[in-house]
Amino acid sequence: MEYLRDAEEFAKAAKTMDSPTVVIQNAFKATEFALKAYASELNRRIDSHADAKRVAYSISDKIGMAFTELLDLYHGSYRREDGDKAGRAIKLMEGIIDGVGSRLTK
């Protein structure tokens, strides 16, 4: 599935970058593509961050809250407010991708 491949590529890039801004942005894009993979199995589309957030919450409140936090980090990264939040972004990304992955394998 194309979305999963894209999610894997962004996740890999997030883990190898030095810039906290780029780490956060790649982590967010990885989760968004993973959520698109899940949405496509449900015959749903994700056309906005709000759509992605709804899909994340449809998986579980925990995944939804993690996505919301990562979305906040993503928006903050454009204002260069990332500081040392890159590690948190990676942890959120991994949790979301694991949660989505467990749904895709069922």
Question: How far is 39 from 50, CA to CA, in rounded Å?
Answer: 13
**pLDDT tens digits, 53-88:** 999 999 999 999 999 999 999 998 877 766 678 888
Domains of the chain, CATH where assigned? 2-104 (1.20.120.330)
**Crossing angle of the two packed helices 49-59 and 20-41, in degrees rounded to 10:** 70
Instruction: Specify whether the CB–CB gap between 84 and 90 falls below 8 A.
Output: no
DSSP summary character for residue 85: -
Specify the pLDDT at position 86.
82
